[in-house]
Amino acid sequence: MADGAQDAAQIMTGAEMVVKALADQGVEVVFGYPGGAVLPIYDEIFKQNKIHHILVRHEQGATHMAEGYARSTGKPGVVLVTSGPGATNAVTGMTDALMDSIPMVVLSGQVPTFMIGNDAFQEADTIGITRPCTKHNWLVKETDKLAETIHQAFHVCTTGRPGPVLVDIPKDVQFASGTYTPKPDAPTGHYAPQTRGNEEMVMAAVEMIETAERPILYSGGGVINSGPEASRLLRELAAETGFPVTSTLMGLGAYPASGPAWLGMLGMHGTYEANMAMHGCDAMFCIGARFDDRITGRLDAFSPGSRKAHIDIDPSSINKNIHVDVPIIGDVGTVLAQILEKWRERGSKTMVDGVDRWWNQITGWKAVNCLSFTPSAKTIKPQHALQRLEELTKDMDRYVTTEVGQHQMWAAQFMGFEDPNRWMTSGGLGTMGYGLPASIGVQVAHPDSLVINVAGEASWLMVMQEMGTAVQYRLPVKQFILNNERLGMVRQWQELLHGERYSHSWSEALPDFVKLAEAFGCKGIKCDNPDDLDEAIQEMLAYDGPVIFDCLVEKHENCFPMIPSGKAHNEMLLGEAETQGAIGSTGAVLV
């Protein structure tokens, strides 16, 4: 083809560019909702069948679906929304993705360039509003720049610490013609985070491994974001050193729950053994985690006797909350490979005797059996419901999402994850309403797998309209609602902190979930008897379609163990008996 003809082939409208750029980026699915300012793009979507569009019921749903999709595949989730309310409704999901480092590309329509600033219909300063809740965002004012901007958006959101990005596209830019920039020709700019760790620091970490007598590997969501190789290397490191492993909420599955080194999740509702090991260790290896306040508890009493190494791709995570001795800036997978290589070169040494003594101590902590609860023959205990769900589904090709609250913590405690990308939850932002749309996003990516959303009734109601999406696209997501007719975690805090004054923390006027399911055109199951539970769960699993499972559970169950706000890891509450006056006035200020 002559040059001229080739150039001519690259001339197209902005709307055509959007669809072509997405296809060039390998995008298979877009979660979106049409509106005035994106109609040209929707027209192009209509004319093709490469990219599958999922029509959501609310733009917040689209963003959480994209998160579920991204978290379960490692690929960026793509969202398409209109201007004004379309974009503002997407803000919660973008903030959520920013906090949890989830790659997401949001394309938003904007009023035409000549109307920007005039308070036009459905105009909002989307770039201004989303600046603090994206990793970066762009307003495209020329059609010629549109394709390269979209390509750069994908580059930025997947490079370094992943996160959401937004491209705001005025309607006249979508209509006008320009030259398409193919992906390989698009400038990626100077954004290139460091992925390889500093050799000197890697060496220091190796020496820490060799000299540690009470070590702990504390892994986080960064291991999962780094890719399957990072999880594999973490497992190798744990297996070859014999060091115990704990993980944040976001990192569950990077190390298998059935693995011999597994201590369970750490933090506010983590296990006794994990938190005691964090407190008592002499060498802490923080791998792709960020010393969040849910993990550290009281900062000045956090793991007082340990040297700390921290691997993180984001330099601003280093020394933000906790001062570390060995900071290593780089990609978790790359740095773990560097560490393992150096350590093996030097003979794979550890302080075997010391580590053995450490394990004896940990075994003692494990014997406390911190996740025990008082069973009941009459009412379904939420922990029991999750134990049964776990037992009946653990060998299946299974993905789990959650909403936010007590049920989320119980799911993290009672369900085991053997692989990365199998557990999707809103960690940093704690967004109620995340789980249902996230489960839809996961199911879109894995149509033949079992996808369960462990929910609380209050969270679930926040975005329940997305059941319509599940039904429309025949996505057989299982909504496992632990219904205690309470905002359980709020209620628990009011009990511990506010003299049992339960201000607005119960779910009044709840719908009949079985009838609700029927109204949506899916299956509803209700269960309130422990004896019927297994059968009801089996019925849910056997049904080839979306299910809303209304599991009526004990109303006043509290989630233990718990590190009360403002307390240290070794001051955990293990059960009801210890809760009286557990949180001081300084702790009460914390969230």
Residue 268: CB minimum distance to another protein, A = 23
Look at the chain and count its residues.
591
- Return d(Cα 152, Cα 141) in angstroms, integer: 15
- Any catalytic annotation for residue 110? no
From the candidates 10, 28, 122, 175, give the one annotated as an active-site residue. 122
- Any catalytic annotation for residue 424? no
In the bound state with another protein, the residue whose beta carbon lies nearer, of 172 and 314, is 314
Bridge partner list, 170: 110
Residue 367: CB minimum distance to another protein, A = 39
Residue 187: CB minimum distance to another protein, A = 11
Residue 165: CB minimum distance to another protein, A = 9
In the bound state with another protein, the residue whose beta carbon lies nearer, of 83 and 350, is 83
In the bound state with another protein, the residue whose beta carbon lies nearer, of 277 and 318, is 318
- Return d(Cα 202, Cα 195) in angstroms, integer: 13
- Any catalytic annotation for residue 408? no
Residue 191: CB minimum distance to another protein, A = 5
In eight-state DSSP terms, residue 91 is: H
* Residue recorded with tokens 């249902």: 436
| Edge-to-edge order in the sheet of strand 478-483 | 423-424, 398-402, 450-456, 478-483, 547-552, 523-527
Token pair for 243: 């060091």
- Any catalytic annotation for residue 580? no
Residue 152: CB minimum distance to another protein, A = 9
Helices (H) and strands (E) in the chain, counts: 25, 20
Residue 362: CB minimum distance to another protein, A = 32
In the bound state with another protein, the residue whose beta carbon lies nearer, of 132 and 584, is 132
From the candidates 16, 44, 59, 67, give the one annotated as an active-site residue. 59
From the candidates 20, 75, 145, 171, give the one annotated as an active-site residue. 171
In the bound state with another protein, the residue whose beta carbon lies nearer, of 129 and 450, is 129
Residue 140: CB minimum distance to another protein, A = 11
- Return d(Cα 157, Cα 161) in angstroms, integer: 8
DSSP state string for 43-71: HHHHT-SSSEEEE-SSHHHHHHHHHHHHH
- Any catalytic annotation for residue 489? yes
Residue 201: CB minimum distance to another protein, A = 16
Please give the biggest Cα pair distance in the chain.
82
- Return d(Cα 576, Cα 373) in angstroms, integer: 10
Residue 520: CB minimum distance to another protein, A = 40
In degrees, rounded to 5, the angle at the alpha carbon of residue 440 between the alpha carbons of residues 437 and 443 is 155
In the bound state with another protein, the residue whose beta carbon lies nearer, of 335 and 548, is 335
- Return d(Cα 127, Cα 168) in angstroms, integer: 7
Point out which residues bind another protein (CB under 8 A): 127-128, 131-132, 135-136, 139, 156, 160-161, 189-191, 193, 314-316, 318-320, 323
What SS3 class is residue 112?
A: coil
- Return d(Cα 451, Cα 326) in angstroms, integer: 40
Contact criterion met (CB below 8 Å) for 556 and 578 = no
In eight-state DSSP terms, residue 159 is: S
Question: Which residues are CB-contacts of 347 (< 8 A; sequence separation ≥ 6)?
Answer: none
In the bound state with another protein, the residue whose beta carbon lies nearer, of 136 and 232, is 136
Q: Which of 93, 35, 95, 26 is nearest to 66 (CA)?
A: 93
In eight-state DSSP terms, residue 465 is: G
Sign of the alpha-carbon torsion through 455, 457, 458, 464: positive
- Return d(Cα 351, Cα 342) in angstroms, integer: 17
Contact criterion met (CB below 8 Å) for 4 and 52 = no
Residue 137: CB minimum distance to another protein, A = 8
Token pair for 162: 């992943």
Question: Which residues are CB-contacts of 471 (< 8 A; sequence separation ≥ 6)?
Answer: 520, 521, 522, 545, 546
In the bound state with another protein, the residue whose beta carbon lies nearer, of 131 and 474, is 131
Give the burial class of 285: count Cβ atoms within 10 A of its Cβ; 0-12 exposed, 13-18 middle, 19 or more buried: buried
In the bound state with another protein, the residue whose beta carbon lies nearer, of 26 and 128, is 128
Q: Which of 240, 239, 270, 241 is nearest to 255 (CA)?
A: 239
Find how far residue 484's CA is from the centre of its chain: 24
In the bound state with another protein, the residue whose beta carbon lies nearer, of 190 and 378, is 190
Give the burial class of 517: count Cβ atoms within 10 A of its Cβ; 0-12 exposed, 13-18 middle, 19 or more buried: buried
Find how far residue 398's CA is from the centre of its chain: 16
In the bound state with another protein, the residue whose beta carbon lies nearer, of 335 and 370, is 335
Hey, what amino acid is at 60? Answer: Q
Q: Which residues form the catalytic set? A: 59, 121-122, 171, 489
